[in-house]
Chain A
Amino acid sequence: METLEQIKARIEPSLPLTKIDLLPNECPAGERSLVVEASRALAVAGFLRDDAQLQLDYCSNVTGIDWPETVIKTKVKKKVQVEGVEQEVEEIVETLRSGHLEVVYHLYSMALKHGPVVLRLRTENRTDKTHLPSLTPVWRGAEFQEREIFDLYGVIFDGHPDLRRLLMWDEFVGFPMRRDYVAPDDFEYEPTPHDEVLAAARKHYPVAATPEVKPEVPV
């Protein structure tokens, strides 16, 4: 299969106004991915599926990631003049990364037996601009997985044929897989609590003078 650079070099001339970023990956597998702007995602997806050399006709997996707003600290080496002598000094630079939601598609080709190509789409932010184009018209199998991402992360897929909650009930409020989701407080009874569960369970119990645990059978 072509490398991602080759794929990028072929997509950008054939689809005008399309810009593709290659996302590096520092993990041992080094699986890199194509990051596509939301507005051009449908065209790029169609290209990847219909191109004769790629024929990525099978979308094996769609998943979501929540990236909250975080401060990233990076070490930068700087040359500083200290008493007339040039020295290298490490400085920590803080950059604010804005929060966004990400959807990842893993694509394979059944016809040519190659893959995966990883495609990533990003929303503008996590609060109001969480719209992304649905790729269900391109890969039919993405329908339920996009519904699941809508259910658990709150990404709204424009053009999805049936965008409803999949796993949670319709009356549910919130998106439970987001990093800042607060689960309902239902730790009324915990036989062996520890760590965060103990802290959550404490609210429901009177604190004893001794740490000994004395269960009492309710009447």
Chain B
Amino acid sequence: MIDEGLQSELKKQGVYVTSLQELYNWGRANSVWPLTFGLACCAIEMIAASMARYDISRFGAEVFRPSPRQADLMIVAGTVTKKMAPLVVRLFNQMPEPKYVIAMGACAISGGPFKQGYNVLKGVDRYLPVDVVIPGCPPRPEALLHALITLQEKILNQPLTGPDRPRHLNADVPGEFPVPAYGPHDLEPPNNPNLWQPPTLTR
């Protein structure tokens, strides 16, 4: 690992020294392609974030792809109903690694105002590995930009080796997640136990 002071001095002399990890992560973090995918009113804010006023292309994420095969980032923008949940998981499975999930808004986090409904999934984290959550109902475009910057920081700090390396560099960790089945009243299973388990509360 090169000393930071020396690196800075060399930079002033026109010599740029970096590690492969930094270069690799720098490249990944600055071209995150989201999937064109909206479920409810949060999608309107997502569209606003991609337009001229908020301009998500300043952060290299303006290329909304209409196919999961070309996308890196799934922005779950809106209420996930139980009927829609298996399709959302299947879309995520079709995305190539490395891939990330942003849960945008109260509904995607917990079911939001529809939490007590019989037909609403109570948080997309029950089936998908969520990297960044954005609170709000709906969150403003600035909040989505902040979530993208947070995700970029997460990507920049990922080590490429060792036990904490990202999923796509670790053959033991699966990149696909089980798709829930439609049951007579609820999804089966109601959550992916490897990803989410109800916290132990005492009350």
Contacts and interface: CB of A to CB of B under 8 A. Distances in A.
A216 interface: yes
B198 A188 contact: yes
Contacts of B117: 183
A173 B203 contact: no
A186 B186 contact: yes
Given A167-B83, A168-B83, A169-B83, A215 B199 contact: yes
B130 to A, nearest CB: 15
B199 A186 contact: no
Interface residues of A, number: 30
B12 interface: no
B59 interface: no
Interface in B95-135: 110, 116-119, 122
B118 A206 contact: no
Contacts of B122: 186, 189
A121 B101 CA distance: 48
Interface in A165-186: 167-174, 176, 181, 183-184, 186
Interface residues of B, number: 22
A186 B190 contact: yes
A207 to B, nearest CB: 7
A204 interface: yes
A121 B83 CA distance: 30
Nearest to A173: B184
Interface string A183-211: 11010110100000100001011111001
A189 B182 CA distance: 21
B200 A173 contact: no
A96 interface: no
A197 B182 CA distance: 24
Contacts of B200: 205, 216, 218
Interface in B165-203: 182-186, 190-191, 197-203
A217 interface: yes
A168 B182 CA distance: 10
13 contacts: A172-B184, A176-B118, A183-B118, A184-B186, A186-B122, A186-B186, A188-B191, A189-B122, A206-B202, A208-B203, A216-B199, A218-B197, A218-B199
Given A181-B118, A205-B200, 20 more contacts: A167-B119, A169-B82, A169-B182, A170-B182, A172-B184, A174-B185, A176-B118, A176-B119, A184-B118, A184-B185, A188-B198, A189-B198, A197-B116, A202-B203, A207-B203, A208-B203, A211-B203, A213-B203, A216-B201, A218-B200
Interface of A: 167-174, 176, 181, 183-184, 186, 188-189, 191, 197, 202, 204-208, 211, 213-218
